Every structure is written in structure tokens, then in C-alpha cells.
Amino acid sequence: MKKLFLAFAASAVIAAPAWAQQKLVPAQSEIVFVSTQMGVPVEGHFRTFDAQVQFDPKKPETSSIAFTVDLGSAALGVPETEAELAKPEWFDTKRFPQARFQSTSIKATGPQRFDVAGKLTIKGQTRDLVVPVTLAQAGGTTTATGAFTLKRLEFKIGDGDWADTSMVANDVQVKFKLALTGVAPL
């Protein structure tokens, strides 16, 4: 009986989908955000994020992506400004430490191009989002790049006095480069 169980377990591991080993490589990945304050672009990035990826380039419709971003890891290069982002008017990191994205569908739109639809949640506010993603492979690494614009006020980012879009624009551009290992050849 023990041999039968071991044989079954070994066959399950061998038959597991290739995406079971997919991993984000944080050191080769980045998430950048660009807001406009009084007409001047201000760029920042998040230092801490993670992804759970189950992606089959041949069958994107069977794939899924879940993403979390530690909002307290926002970096703008100015410690005083970064401390402001943690406050309730901005990210309110004590109550809402993470932003989350969960895909609902993935479809191919061209060679190595995909639209990833899903739900983005920030500060308890959830919105539908479609993110165009381009993939490239080199060696054992697949790089996913893309960008999208979110409306910060839809997520209550910059509440109160900061809701005035003449001071801080409502549009925030988010750009990303995600390095992944374990993705099947494109």
C-alpha cells in the first residue's frame, strides 16, 4: 500500500502543470507610480510586493494572477513625504496595509500580448481593471511589462483637503516590470 501511495504521489508531482513552479523575482522587478502635483510629475515606487502566478501562455484563459503590494513600502525619496502617505488621508496603512489585484480573465491580444482583467482593491475600494501586458523571455526569465492609469479619488487616496485635483491630479500612472521564473516558452 505504501508503494502504491508513493507511486501515485510521484506521478501527481510529475503531472503537475508547469506553472506550479512559477515565481516572482523581486530583485529584478519593479512597480513605479507617477502622480502630478501642481503640474509637476512626481515618481515613486513600491519596495515590497508579491505575486502568485499560474500562467500558461498557450492557454491564457486557464491562467490566474494574484498580486499584493505593501502600501507602507511606498518610496518617494523624501522620508517626510513617505510618512504622509501612511496617514488616513492617503493610503491609511494601519487599516489597509496592502493593495490587491486578482485576475478574473486573461486573453491573448497578439503575439506575446495579453489583456489581464481583474479586481483592484485599495483602501477597501474595489474597481474593475484591464491591464495590457507584454511578455518577453530571455534565458529562464519571463518579463511582464505594462502600465495603466488609475483615478486616485475612486480609491479614496488623497481624501479631505487633498481631494482638490488642482493640487494633486486625479490620474496616477502605474508602470510595472515583473520578472518571473518557471513560465513555459512563449
| pLDDT in 10s for each residue of the chain, 186 residues | 444 333 333 433 333 444 458 999 999 999 999 999 999 999 999 999 999 999 999 999 999 999 999 999 999 999 998 999 999 999 999 999 999 999 999 999 999 999 999 999 999 999 999 999 999 999 999 999 999 999 999 999 998 889 999 999 999 999 999 999 999 998
At 168, which helix (H) or strand (E)?
none
12, part of any domain = no
126, part of any domain = yes
Q: Which residues, 6 or more positions from 72, have their beta carbon under 8 angstroms from its beta carbon?
A: 48, 86, 91, 93, 97
- Helices and strands: H and E segment counts in the chain: 2, 11
pLDDT at 21: 83
pTM across the whole model: 0.86
7, part of any domain = no
Length of the chain: 186
For residue 29, what is the domain's CATH number? 2.40.128.110
Residue 130 CA to residue 186 CA, distance in Å, equals 21
Domain range enclosing 115: 19-181
Cα dihedral 163→169→50→58 (10° resolution): 130
Percent of the chain, pLDDT > 70? 89
Under DSSP, the state recorded for 97 is -
Cell output for 117: 482583467
Identity of the amino acid at 126: T
Query: 83: burial class by Cβ within 10 Å (0-12, 13-18, 19+)?
Result: exposed
8, part of any domain = no
Domains held by the chain: number: 1
